[in-house]
Amino acid sequence: MESDADELDSWADEVEGTDVPELPEPENTDCDECGGTGEVDNPDYDADEDAEDEDYAEPTTVECAECGGSGEVENDEPTDEQMDDWRSEVEDALSVLDECPV
């Protein structure tokens, strides 16, 4: 009985010392609007007008308004991949619970 108590005590210390990973911070992801390029087609660009007027200098693309031209957007929550990785880390860290000696 004393042996079981010692084993449980040792196991409890191991459980208390287990470091459970923090929830991951959200990562930036590619902007859906521009596909990560930071630029979108210019809605004011007119190819016909450009061909007729040599002084017409409207650009064919403009900075993406969704991402501000960075090509990335900030997420409010971690991505599914980040959460899957975190769950795996938590499962590994908490596997000590399965090792109960009694």
Identify whether the C-beta of residue 24 lies closer than 8 Å to the C-beta of residue 78. Answer: yes
> Position 44: which residue type?
D
Half-sphere exposure for 43 (CA within 13 Å, toward CB):
2
pLDDT per residue as tens, the chain (102 positions): 888 788 888 888 888 888 889 999 999 999 999 999 999 998 887 777 666 666 666 788 999 999 999 999 999 999 899 999 999 999 988 888 877 777
